[in-house]
Chains A and B, each alone.
Chain A
Amino acid sequence: MRVTVKLIGPLIYAAGFSEKELTLAGPATAGEVLARVNVEKGRPTILTRNGKAVGPLDALEDGDRLVISPIYSGG
């Protein structure tokens, strides 16, 4: 299964990439993909799958776009 992971803002510099495609051996949840990316553990994030908010236990599907963002505040 292939998913595209897009990181937002400062997460890019910690993880060392902005966007990349991951090939997963089998089914995976959003939280499992998050764990594979170098985002500081415990850092509050918001996950969206194809533009819609999801929780870490939500399953991903082939071709999904998972966006991982810090919690912004609107300035």
Chain B
Amino acid sequence: MLGWTGSILRVNLTTRTHRKESFTEEFARTWVGGRGFAVKILFDELQPGIDPLGPENKLVVALGPISGIPAPNTGKAVVAAKSPLTGFYGDGNLGTRLTEQLRKAGYDALIVEGKAERPTMLYIEDDRVEFLPADDVWGRGTFATNEWIYGKYGKGVGILNIGQGGENLVRYAVIRSMEGRSGGRPGMGAVMGSKLLKAIVVHGTRPIPQADPKAMKAVGVEDLKKIHQMDQDSGWSRQSTTGVLAWCNEVAGLPVQNFRKTSHAEAWKIDGERLDEARVATYGCPTCTMRCGIAIRDKEGHESELDYENVGLLGSNLNIFELDQVGSLNYLCDDYGLDTMSAGCTLSFYADAIAHGAAEGDFRFGDAERAKQLLGLAAHRQGTLGNLLADGSLRMARAFGHGSEAYAMQVKGLEVASYNCKFIPGMALAFGVSPIGAHHREAWIIAFELKNTTRDSYGPEKAAKVIELQRIRGGMFESIVACRFPWIELGWSLDNYPKYFNLVTGLSWILNDMWALADRVYALIKLHYVREFPNATRKADYPPAVWFDPGNADTEGPIAHRHLEADKYDRLLQHYYDQRGYDNRGIPTRALLEKLGLSREAEEAGKYATLT
């Protein structure tokens, strides 16, 4: 088997043991890597109903066959577990040196089981695994933890670590790496924290097996140069993802004041132009030549690395239009190890709940200083309020009552990314049917909706576009484990990815093979959901209720008096199910599961819910 190391490292923190396990070529070809590996491993090994913050949950770090080699934007890793935020499969990806190091150590994936007796750092060097005390940095932030590890091992090692958010089981705590990189929005950092696992450090010394390493290196290096040139020619990384903020503000798609409004006169103060002007440094992931991380000085003088999602949800969504203050909130989230998106939506929900009389409190939109304090309370689960904030917007809404769940901006418990779909039906669908909750990673179709169809349409073309993008973004890129940005932002051809895949594996895949993989991965995530929530209905695939509320419609601007319409949205959802081969509840049919090679998994899911 070429392309894969053929090995998974399984570590048990309770017994302080480890084992190198082989996987078959059939497993490799069926699931490829990354999200594919993670979803299959967790489906087979986790019993439904387990406590996601208990020792029986497992953390999977999974890589793909092109991970860690010199090819465009392959320095990423997928982290996955049962999510403490959503209650079923959750995952995320982040740029990290750990990718190359784990592959060089001889593994395509790492499974962490059990729970340590005391704060622990896992150190992996090829076949050697050490369980080291991490008491010195338990209670400290991710930046200090990184420095502590660098001091021991140098900067070349691969690191995953958590901050106080993960330690204190904040349900949207992320895993961090390389100072500015975060992954695992649905609480993967909390899963690490529940295991008293502060950090994973990896150093590998072996070559990564490849079918044609010479050709791959030549192609990879040349393509990295071409992508760099394309970025320079287009000017994309001048503002990177933050360029879209000004556009969202123009077309009534920006989250403002907990998504109550869709634009703001002061949005220009935090847009991509201002960010570029304030730039003090630029950062990126390993093997990236179109670096997207723009760092500014925050209010307290720290470097804070921002992208659009951070600025939208910690800025306009909280009515905060001072860029250095947005930088401060972002820095705190990064240091505590909190997901900036869920943190932003949870704070905005709290302010909104107070404004609507559902809760008592002193937090108002626009109050950056109080927002900083609240992030600290959440990260440390300090007091009743800190505990409420640490549980995310949905649980907070259920605690507050008074109908506030309608404006908790989440789907399946995961907070909505920074696009206000008050009247963007297709993107609302993309959030609704994102397999892990409201993540923008799976599909983003707003430009398509405005340019290639109409904003009013709830037609099948939008469902088709969502599926097309899910296959590419959430399926192929998450499973081969590469960043989508060269393709999606610069137009780098998708055909390059099967080419890289074939050079390292010796196989002859085409894009259609990737789409079959993607459909298999999406179907199995859905079966995870079915096992955990057998009585769920199609309403679970609805976006936040407030987007359907006529009373919440804009009163002026391009979408004045417009809002999502429930009956039309439901028909759009049905288009999605029909095109996917899912039944009326949004569950893959037995016929589809058999076609995807998931008969055994169907049998297992069938124990919990009736499959049609």
A22 within 8 A of B: no
Residues from chain A with Cβ under 8 Å of B419 in the complex: 74
Is B558 a contact of A71 with CB atoms below 8 Å? no
Is A10 a contact of B450 with CB atoms below 8 Å? no
Is B558 a contact of A14 with CB atoms below 8 Å? no
The proximity string for B residues 439-463 relative to A, scoring 1 for CB distances below 8 Å and 0 otherwise, is 0100010110011000100000000
Identify which of B308, B419, B450 gathers the most chain A CB atoms within 10 Å of its CB. Answer: B450
A41 within 8 A of B: no
CB-CB nearest in chain A for B558: A51
Residues from chain B with Cβ under 8 Å of A71 in the complex: 447, 451
A interface, by DSSP: helix, strand, loop or mixed? Answer: mixed
The proximity string for A residues 2-20 relative to B, scoring 1 for CB distances below 8 Å and 0 otherwise, is 0000101111111000100
For the complex, give the distance between the alpha carbons of A74 and B434 in Å: 14
Residues from chain B with Cβ under 8 Å of A8 in the complex: 243-244, 246-247, 250
B-facing residues in A1-58 (Cβ within 8 Å)? 6, 8-14, 18, 46, 48, 50-53
Partner of A75, one of B238, B246, B309: B309
Is A53 a contact of B451 with CB atoms below 8 Å? yes
For the complex, give the distance between the alpha carbons of A71 and B251 in Å: 13
Is A9 a contact of B447 with CB atoms below 8 Å? no
A-facing residues in B236-294 (Cβ within 8 Å)? 236, 238-239, 241, 243-244, 246-247, 250-252, 272-273
From residue B424, how far is it (CB to closest CB) to chain A in Å? 11
For the complex, give the distance between the alpha carbons of A3 and B246 in Å: 18
From residue A33, how far is it (CB to closest CB) to chain B in Å? 15
Partner of B235, one of A6, A14, A50, A51: A14
Partner of B447, one of A6, A18, A50, A72: A72
A67 within 8 A of B: yes
B223 within 8 A of A: no
Partner of A51, one of B241, B244, B252, B446: B252
For the complex, give the distance between the alpha carbons of A13 and B239 in Å: 10
Is A10 a contact of B273 with CB atoms below 8 Å? no
Is A10 a contact of B236 with CB atoms below 8 Å? yes
From residue A57, how far is it (CB to closest CB) to chain B in Å? 14
B489 within 8 A of A: yes
A-B contact pairs, 6 of them (CB 8 A): A48-B558, A53-B251, A53-B451, A70-B243, A73-B488, A75-B307
Q: Which chain A residues have a beta carbon within 8 Å of chain B's beta carbons?
A: 6, 8-14, 18, 46, 48, 50-53, 65, 67, 69-75
Contacts A51-B251, A71-B451 aside, 10 further interface pairs with beta carbons under 8 A come to A6-B246, A9-B235, A9-B238, A10-B239, A18-B273, A67-B247, A75-B307, A75-B308, A75-B309, A75-B444
